[in-house]
């Protein structure tokens, strides 16, 4: 299966817009195809609406943003895409017909995945060319923030297709959960459906309103579910004996007639109750307002979980590690020309970096200079493994000098020189430039101290780390131009 540089979207809508926003943010070009030309404006609006929350998800250095294109020619999209994600309505015959047609034009090494929330992959791949490259990749709304994607293979799906899909989705920051065998509704929707049926029953019987039922989740189990699923939570409920004790103590309750497995009749009266209840909960707020509220707390929850390396926080942490390592790999490729200042960071002034004067705000200068330092130290050998061994570089001094303005969307790059290295110290000079005119925007002189972290004391750095930094220092010593300008 091929490396994914362009994601083809077969159908747009809410899910398609979410896929586009996530892929673009992590450097993948998107070619969206829809028979309705008016959907181009819609998907561009959806991507724009997602940008603010995506921008806050991580401070790790990002690749250049992908480019969004739109076409009404499904066949042209199929010929140009490296991976195709189908998002058309949940109608089996419609999906079968469109997937079969697209498969005639997509090269055989292009994975084709469906966002279906419940249809079986074996049914969907029935009439396709090269059906072994087809699978279900079921995401959750909003796709650009929720990392879960369920991967389900059909009878003809190859392991290679599943592996390739898992690699791609992990690359764009998702948790790829492989479903062992195909079942209607996959995994998560079956669990959600059980809860949804009970909600409908209790509203229908006037046991509770929609708001009261949502409160029963939001203030209780919903908080636990952000990091631990029902099974692990019930394991804890059993005390030291865990799940065995829990089932023996509470298992008899399963025989009690608490729940109703069949959904109630969806009568007009029940529909009216559901509509009235949710409108009351919305309290006059528009869908876009509620989406922004939802997105804000989803970003915050993932950031809170990240230090604990659990749930969606673990997925975010793994994504950030890949982004930092990718930035360092790019730096390593440029370090061959070590007689010049190292060009370690290529970036641009993101809209969320702007202050009330329309300029790049002070804290973002430190972030960009920090990204350059991280790339340099990873090249030298101060990587995650090095830090786990109990050694790290600590900032002792930073002096930033501002020379020119950096405005929204301004392309920038950072060059770095190693000024001084000894057993315990490294002194660096970073210079931030505007790409359009090479103007020096700001410089930063930084002093780092090598520390043995458990006792919190300065200590000599590993010989190999010092040697790599010393080589750069010697190479940079012959060029004082950057030093004088800064």
CATH code (residue 245): 1.10.1040.10
Backbone angles phi, psi at 111, to 5 degrees: -70, 135
312 in any annotated domain: no
pLDDT of residue 207: 93
Task: Give the Cβ contact number of residue 258 at 10 Å.
Answer: 8
Residue 117 sits in the same domain as residue 210: no
Question: From the centroid of its chain, how far is CA 404?
Answer: 33
- Judgement on whether residues 364 and 462 belong to the same structural domain of the protein: yes
> Residues 259, 227: one domain?
yes
Contact present, 162 and 153 (Cβ < 8 Å): yes
Residue 308 belongs to a domain: no
Total domains present in the chain = 3
**Pair 449, 433: CB distance under 8 Å:** no
Beta carbons of 376 and 428 less than 8 angstroms apart: yes
| 384 and 280 share one domain | no
Of 402, 470, 391, the C-alpha closest to 431 is 402
Q: Residues near 29 by Cβ (< 8 Å), separated by ≥ 6?
A: 5, 6, 7, 23, 66, 67, 68, 69
Residue 117 covered by a domain: yes
Confidence (pLDDT) at 82: 97
Point out the domain boundary residue: 284, 317, 352: 284
d(C-alpha 322, C-alpha 384), whole Å: 11
Please state the separation of Cα 363 from the chain's center in Å: 23
Could you say which DSSP state residue 139 is in? Answer: -
Per-residue model confidence (pLDDT) at position 480: 54
Which uninterrupted H or E stretch holds 224?
Answer: helix 221-225
Q: Which candidate, 19, 18, 14, places its Cα nearest to that of 6?
A: 19
Q: Give the CATH number, domain containing residue 471.
A: 3.10.129.10
Same domain? 25 vs 158 = yes
Residue 293 in any domain: the answer is: no
Pairwise CA distance, residues 457 & 451, whole Å: 5
Q: Is the dihedral of CA 393, 399, 400, 401 positive or negative?
A: negative
For residue 456, what are the CA distances in angstroms to 210, 307, 390? 53, 21, 10
Q: Per the domain annotation, does 291 fall within a domain?
A: no
The closest of 5, 46, 49, 1 to 26, measured between CA atoms, is 5
Q: CATH number for the domain including 20? A: 3.40.50.720
Q: What is the pLDDT at residue 486?
A: 52
Give SS3 for 457. strand
Full-model pTM? 0.81
The per-residue pLDDT string of the chain (486 residues; one tens digit each, 9 = 90 and over) reads 789 999 999 999 899 999 999 999 999 999 999 999 999 999 999 999 998 899 889 888 888 899 999 999 999 999 999 999 999 999 999 999 999 999 999 999 999 999 999 999 999 999 999 999 999 999 999 999 999 999 999 999 999 999 999 999 999 999 999 999 999 999 999 999 989 999 999 999 999 999 999 999 988 888 888 888 887 777 877 777 777 877 777 777 767 767 777 877 878 888 888 788 888 888 888 878 888 888 888 888 999 999 889 889 999 999 998 988 888 777 777 776 545 678 888 888 888 888 888 889 999 999 999 999 998 998 889 988 899 899 999 999 999 999 998 888 889 999 999 999 999 999 999 999 999 899 999 999 999 999 998 888 999 999 999 999 998 888 877 655 545 455
Together in a domain, 43 and 174: yes
Among residues 153, 178, 203, the one where a domain terminates is 178
DSSP 8-state secondary structure symbol assigned to residue 397 = E
Q: Residue 320: inside a domain, yes or no?
A: no
Range of the domain at 340: 335-485
Where does residue 428 rank: exposed (0-12), middle (13-18), buried (19+ CB within 10 A)?
buried
Q: Does residue 302 lie within any of the structural domains?
A: no
**For residue 326, is it within any domain?**
no
Domain co-membership, 202 together with 172: no
DSSP 244-272: HHHHHHHGGGGGSS---SSPPP--HHHHH
Alpha carbon of 207 to those of 199, 204, 220: distances in Å?
10, 8, 18
Cβ atoms of residues 263 and 200 within 8 Å: yes
């Amino acid at each position: 299966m091929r490396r994914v540089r362009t994601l083809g979207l077969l159908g747009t809508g809410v899910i398609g817009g979410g896929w586009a926003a996530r892929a673009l943010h992590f450097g993948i070009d998107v070619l969206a195809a829809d028979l309705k030309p008016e959907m181009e404006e819609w998907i561009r609006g959806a991507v724009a609406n997602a940008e603010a929350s995506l921008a806050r998800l991580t401070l790790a250095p990002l690749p250049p943003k992908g480019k969004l294109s739109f076409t009404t020619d499904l066949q042209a999209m199929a010929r140009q895409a490296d991976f195709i994600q189908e998002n058309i309505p949940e109608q089996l015959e419609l999906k079968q017909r469109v997937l079969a047609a697209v498969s005639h034009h997509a090269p055989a090494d292009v994975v084709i995945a469906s966002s279906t929330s419940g249809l079986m992959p074996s049914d969907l791949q029935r009439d396709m060319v090269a059906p072994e490259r087809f699978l279900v990749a079921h995401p959750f709304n909003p796709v650009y923030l929720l990392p879960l994607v369920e991967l389900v293979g059909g009878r003809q799906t190859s392991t290679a297709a599943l592996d390739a899909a898992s690699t791609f989705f992990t690359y764009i920051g998702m948790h790829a959960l492989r479903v062992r065998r195909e079942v209607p509704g996959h995994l998560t929707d079956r669990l959600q459906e059980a809860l949804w049926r009970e909600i409908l029953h209790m509203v229908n019987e006037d046991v509770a309103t929609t708001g009261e039922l949502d409160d029963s989740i939001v203030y209780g189990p919903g908080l636990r579910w952000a990091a631990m699923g029902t099974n692990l939570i019930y394991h804890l409920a059993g005390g030291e004996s865990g799940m065995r004790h829990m089932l023996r103590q509470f298992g008899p309750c399963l025989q009690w007639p608490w729940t109703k497995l069949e959904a109630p009749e969806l009568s007009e009266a029940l529909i009216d109750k559901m509509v009235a209840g949710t409108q009351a909960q919305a309290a006059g707020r528009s869908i876009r307002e509620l989406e922004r509220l939802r997105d804000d707390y989803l970003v915050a929850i993932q950031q809170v979980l990240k230090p604990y390396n659990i749930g969606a926080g673990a997925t975010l942490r793994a994504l950030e590690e890949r982004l930092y390592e990718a930035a360092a790999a790019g730096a390593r490729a440029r370090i061959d020309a070590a007689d010049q200042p190292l060009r370690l960071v290529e970036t641009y002034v993101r809209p969320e970096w702007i202050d009330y004067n329309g300029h790049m705000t002070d804290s973002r200068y430190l972030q960009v200079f920090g990204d350059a330092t991280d790339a340099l130290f990873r090249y030298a050998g101060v990587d995650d493994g090095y830090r786990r061994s109990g050694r790290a570089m600590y900032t002792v001094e930073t002096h930033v000098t501002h020379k020119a303005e950096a405005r929204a969307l301004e392309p920038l790059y950072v060059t770095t020189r190693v000024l001084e290295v000894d057993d315990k110290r490294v002194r660096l000079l970073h210079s931030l430039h505007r790409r359009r005119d090479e103007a020096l925007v700001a410089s930063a002189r930084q002093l780092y101290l090598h520390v043995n972290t458990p006792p919190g004391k300065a200590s000599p750095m590993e010989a190999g780390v010092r040697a790599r930094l010393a080589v750069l220092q010697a190479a940079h010593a012959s060029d004082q131009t950057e030093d004088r300008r800064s």
